[in-house]
Chain A
Amino acid sequence: MTVTETLAFSDEAMKKYEWLLSRYPTRKAALLPTLRIAESEFGELGVPQMKYVADLMEIPPATVFGVVTFYTHYRRAGVGKYHLQVCSTLSCALRGSGDVVSRVTERLGIGVGETSECGLFTLSKVECLGSCDTAPVIQCNDDYHEGLSLEDVDALIEQLRQEAGKGGA
């Protein structure tokens, strides 16, 4: 797989990885944080990225595969630049997360689990984000957007579009 051959951590990432190894008594314990490094280095955790981490850490790729698919917060292959994760658990649902999902669907023309044609947005319903007092909530990539009205949802989408435009995406 030629893609795998071209993947490599930057020096900085490698330094971070070495530091991680020093924090645990076993190499394998560094797997979850190393996947985070891979995620930010490579943008997503697809097959080649998982293979790279497995080879780097000298653990079977199947182990990495099992771990990545167990957790829901890793950025898997094919997710848009902005991953809109709408909390849909009870407290958010009671305060209108269903309407937030509908609003995003309307504005972006994508359903849950879909990515917009421009590749900018992916919409997901996720479970409790631990921000129930500020429901409804969207986590977009790393950031929480809390206490959202439907207008806030529109504004968020607009802001992200502009941000993407500026970034020359």
Chain B
Amino acid sequence: MSDSNSTVRWTLNGTEVENEAGMTIMEAAKVHGVDIPQFCYHPGLSIAGNCRICMVESNRSPKPVISCSERIAEGLEIKTQSEVAVDARNSVMEFQLINHPLDCPVCDKAGECVLQDHSYEHGPDRSRFVEDKNIRHTKELGPTIDIWGNRCIVCTRCVRFCDEISGTGELCVVERGDRSVVDVFPGVPIDNSLAGNTVDICPVGALISSDFKYEARVWNMDKTSSVCGGCSRGCNVEVETLDGFVKRLTPRENLDVNDWWMCDHGRYGWRHLYADSRLESAQHDGQAVSPTGTSGALHQLLSSSSSTAFLVDPYMTCEELHLVRSIANSLGGSTIAGWLPAAGTEETFPGGFKISADKHPNRKGAEHVLGSDLFTASADQLKSALSNGSIDTLVAFVGGDGFEGAGGEWNDLISKAGKRIVFATQQGSWCDGADLVVPATAPLEKEGVWVNEDDRAQRTRSCRSLTSNHFPSELVVLQELQVHMDLRNRPLSAAGIFRELSETSDAFSGHSHSGLGDSGSPLSQRPAAMSSEGGHS
């Protein structure tokens, strides 16, 4: 009747609607604001059709049909609230719960559990099941993942993930019937760079992250939509904190960047925020400087400098880099160069996910703000200048996780400057003997824009961890310095600085924080084009 390019007219709960041909009932219904419940369905995985919770009534079938796999068709009439549909959902819920331990009070999934949510909406308020419940294994499946088998509803999302997305195939369902449960081959644990995603997509509390286990009730945590700084992929993440402490990172859906996934390096790579060596207060000549005095001390050092160089890092936001550029320009005769951390290994996966070898989130952005030779020719020039001793004052930014400083060669060169100001996240040789040490924000603590390897600008946001609340961010310190230098009347927000940047830089022209929204935008895609597409969801 209708070819794949056309639309299909069908009836949803008595109302005639239109959708693109080829959509499933579930997808199409969602467009019209009808959310059909799901356990086994996941948009990033193949369709299993096993949980049966998405059954709806169809005029084309004597039995209810599953809306995750059945496709819309001309003349199809679907009811999601009819007696047949409601009974089908209620049936599935009752069956799901009979052997489920109902141990929500001690389950880490509680509060974000699909089973809990659906039970509330579609489940019975009491059980007719008076038999003994089945017992299945509770054990470690890998270094970061445990399974509570009794909670498993055998939806196979995790198994499909390891087969289709990571391509590592460590998980399987063993046994059959109501004895079946997810397992690994004895001696072959689940241990791949994407393993943590299986916990996220588990619709119940069967797969549990051993890192997050018993750490927090999910409803007590504050969430910040941010971007992972682990590599130049820029995975969109949610940072969850409890009382100012980061508890976990989870991926945020972005089909242009990371789909629904993130890697374990990024997921578990936030402990540096609370490292013993973390810098939390500024120091001038070995004396602590108050947070409000930092910019003054900085100004004092810079105003007596005969030649100043800035060494920036690729974790700095475009806003921070813009401020550095403006300060350097006003000082006159100063130079700017950047350092890069050592390259890692690129990892690609059958599902299309990629971990970049470049372990820096904003190299592209830095090059847009400060020039394409920032990390190459400019860096070489600064190296020789430092070796010659021709730099009077060096302002070095040593961010990231900060444990390696700016890398072996730079760490030695830094100390050859006459005077040295170091913004650092961690204590280390790069701080030793510095004239002024300023605590720096780490990735996840920054407020601003990063540009990933695909030239996509995305907003990273500060999770306001306990540590970063102890000192003003570079964004603030650098602006206060500008106030001291009479370059600015008062500090602005990151959005305000970004506006200044967009007004002075072709690359960022037309973009704004609000325009970038939660999911970012390719720099080449100007807002005019964006608005014609209706902006961001």
Direct contact of A and B (CB under 8 A): yes
Residues of A near any B CB (own CB < 8 A):
1, 47, 50-51, 54, 59-66, 69-70
Residues in A neighbouring B173, C-beta threshold 8 A = 66
A66 touches B174 (CB 8 A): yes
List residues of B (164-189) whose CB comes within 8 Å of A's CBs.
Answer: 168-176, 183-188
Query: Among the listed B172, B175, B176, which residue makes an inter-chain contact with A63, where contact means beta carbons less than 8 Å apart?
Result: B172
Q: List 22 A-B contacts (CB under 8 A).
A: A1-B187, A47-B185, A47-B186, A54-B185, A59-B169, A60-B169, A60-B170, A61-B185, A61-B188, A62-B169, A62-B171, A62-B183, A62-B185, A63-B169, A64-B185, A65-B183, A65-B184, A65-B186, A69-B174, A69-B175, A69-B176, A70-B175
| Residue in A54, A59, A62 whose Cβ sees the most chain B Cβ within 10 Å | A62
A65 touches B187 (CB 8 A): no
A66-B158 Cα distance, complex, nearest whole Å: 14
Residue of B nearest to A60 (CB): B169
A66-B170 Cα distance, complex, nearest whole Å: 11
B392 smallest CB distance to A (angstroms): 61
A85 smallest CB distance to B (angstroms): 18
Residues in A neighbouring B183, C-beta threshold 8 A = 62, 65-66
Residue of B nearest to A71 (CB): B176
Residue of B nearest to A67 (CB): B172
A62 touches B175 (CB 8 A): no
B187 touches A62 (CB 8 A): no
Residue of A nearest to B174 (CB): A69
A61-B174 Cα distance, complex, nearest whole Å: 12
Q: Given contacts A1-B187, A47-B186, A51-B185, is CB(A62)–CB(B170) below 8 Å?
A: yes
Residues in B neighbouring A54, C-beta threshold 8 A = 185
Query: Among the listed B174, B176, B185, B187, which residue makes an inter-chain contact with A60, where contact means beta carbons less than 8 Å apart?
Result: B185
B175 touches A50 (CB 8 A): no
Residues in B neighbouring A61, C-beta threshold 8 A = 185, 188
Residue of B nearest to A51 (CB): B185
Q: Given contacts A60-B169, A60-B170, is CB(A65)–CB(B175) below 8 Å?
A: no
Residues in A neighbouring B185, C-beta threshold 8 A = 47, 50-51, 54, 60-62, 64-65
Give a binary string over B346-365; 1 marks a CB under 8 Å from any A CB, 0 the rest. 00000000000000000000
A25 smallest CB distance to B (angstroms): 20
B176 touches A62 (CB 8 A): no
Interface of B is mostly: loop
Residue of A nearest to B169 (CB): A60
A61-B348 Cα distance, complex, nearest whole Å: 22
Residues in A neighbouring B170, C-beta threshold 8 A = 60, 62
Residues in A neighbouring B186, C-beta threshold 8 A = 47, 65
A39 smallest CB distance to B (angstroms): 18
Beyond A60-B185, A69-B174, 12 additional pairs, beta carbon < 8 A:
A47-B187, A59-B169, A60-B168, A62-B172, A62-B185, A65-B184, A65-B186, A66-B174, A66-B183, A69-B176, A70-B174, A70-B175
Residues in B neighbouring A51, C-beta threshold 8 A = 185, 187
Residues in B neighbouring A62, C-beta threshold 8 A = 169-172, 183-185, 188
Residue of B nearest to A68 (CB): B174
A158 smallest CB distance to B (angstroms): 35
Query: Among the listed B176, B184, B187, B188, which residue makes an inter-chain contact with A70, where contact means beta carbons less than 8 Å apart?
Result: B176
Residue of B nearest to A59 (CB): B169
A65-B173 Cα distance, complex, nearest whole Å: 8
A64-B175 Cα distance, complex, nearest whole Å: 12
Residue of B nearest to A54 (CB): B185
Residues in B neighbouring A64, C-beta threshold 8 A = 185
A65-B174 Cα distance, complex, nearest whole Å: 7
A46-B533 Cα distance, complex, nearest whole Å: 58
A50-B187 Cα distance, complex, nearest whole Å: 12
The 8 closest A-B pairs by CB, nearest first: A60-B169, A66-B172, A61-B185, A62-B172, A69-B174, A62-B185, A65-B185, A47-B186
A63-B168 Cα distance, complex, nearest whole Å: 11
| Residue in B168, B172, B183 whose Cβ sees the most chain A Cβ within 10 Å | B172
Residues in A neighbouring B184, C-beta threshold 8 A = 62, 65
Residue of B nearest to A47 (CB): B186
A52 smallest CB distance to B (angstroms): 12
| Residue in B175, B184, B188 whose Cβ sees the most chain A Cβ within 10 Å | B188
List residues of B (300-353) whose CB comes within 8 Å of A's CBs.
Answer: none
A51-B185 Cα distance, complex, nearest whole Å: 9
| Residue in A1, A59, A60, A70 whose Cβ sees the most chain B Cβ within 10 Å | A60
A160-B127 Cα distance, complex, nearest whole Å: 50
B204 smallest CB distance to A (angstroms): 20
Residues in B neighbouring A59, C-beta threshold 8 A = 169
A54-B186 Cα distance, complex, nearest whole Å: 13
A117 smallest CB distance to B (angstroms): 26
Residues in A neighbouring B172, C-beta threshold 8 A = 60, 62-63, 65-66
A70-B173 Cα distance, complex, nearest whole Å: 9
A68-B410 Cα distance, complex, nearest whole Å: 57
Residue of B nearest to A64 (CB): B185
A78 smallest CB distance to B (angstroms): 14
Residue of B nearest to A66 (CB): B172
A64-B171 Cα distance, complex, nearest whole Å: 11
B288 smallest CB distance to A (angstroms): 55
B167 smallest CB distance to A (angstroms): 10
